[in-house]
Amino acid sequence: MSALLATTLISAALLPPLSLLILLAAGLYFHRRRPRLAMSLILLSTSALYALSTPWIGGLLQKSLEISTPVSPDALKAAEAIVVLGGGRRKEATEYGGDTLNGTSLERLRYAAHLHRASGLPVLVSGGKPDGGSLGEGSIMAHILQSEYGFSPHWVEDTSLTTWDNARLSAAVLKHAGVRHIVLVTHAWHLRRAAPQFESNGLSVIPAGTQFSSTRVDSMLDFLPTPSGLRDSTYALHEWLGILWYKLRTIVA
């Protein structure tokens, strides 16, 4: 078993919905021998599932990760390059005849293209193929920028498997080209984990987040469980878990 696969399995077990299913299964297992413990586990798992599935809680958790406001035109003037991080692929997408980007990556890439047109800054695309497939995210992003946005990235990094790798490998390419000040494009909830990695590799980072979260309650529907609410909560908890892991990794190293 590879280290990446082991990390992925551990992460899945610690995050919803699998972690909540494990708690529920434990409650059902103990329901005869330790009924009070069983009831506590069942109530905990079902209450957590309800709360984490509401759009309001998902928004609160994602908002807790945001470290900046939307990037301003004046901030772009201090940068030398734009770095956009991949967020996943769709492998063997039949309608495209092969691997392509998922929605998360496309949101980031679209915003990077917007900032490129506003600033004229060169672009580095970063992302490999951690779950296999034929093309890395970086290569797919480069193709989409050329074919759909009419320009090519200046640099392509397509071997990274994690955010840690994104920063390490991208920094090596950029510093070789004399670049030290970058605009980092990713989701707003990803910047708290991503930006320090690039800074620790010797780059000055201007955060450029996309898809900022809202904590405003617009209607009672914000308190009803939805698949998108659970997705947002899971993304946020995954980031906090990743931040903790990177801090532990730094201490051990």
pLDDT one-digit tens code per residue, 43-101: 999 999 999 999 999 999 999 999 999 999 999 999 999 999 999 999 999 999 999 99
Whole-model pTM: value is 0.94
pLDDT one-digit tens code per residue, 118-158: 999 999 999 999 888 889 999 999 999 999 999 999 999 99
**Domain residue spans of the chain:** 3-64+225-252, 73-210
* Model pLDDT, residue 1: 55
* Model pLDDT, residue 5: 78
* Model pLDDT, residue 252: 72
151 φ, ψ to 5°? Answer: -150, 160
Q: Report whether 60 contacts 236 (CB < 8 A).
A: no
pLDDT one-digit tens code per residue, 166-211: 999 999 999 999 999 999 999 999 999 999 999 999 999 999 999 9
Q: Which residue has the higher pLDDT, 62 or 7?
A: 62
Could you tell me which of 163, 134, 196, 195 has the C-alpha nearest to residue 7?
Answer: 163
CATH 3.30.70.580 applies to domain 73-210:
no
List CB contacts of 184: < 8 A, sequence separation 6 or more.
83, 85, 191, 194, 195, 198, 205, 206, 207, 208
Ranges 156-165, 170-179, 242-251: which has the least confidence: 242-251
Q: Is the pLDDT of residue 223 over 60?
A: yes
Mean pLDDT of 8-27: 95
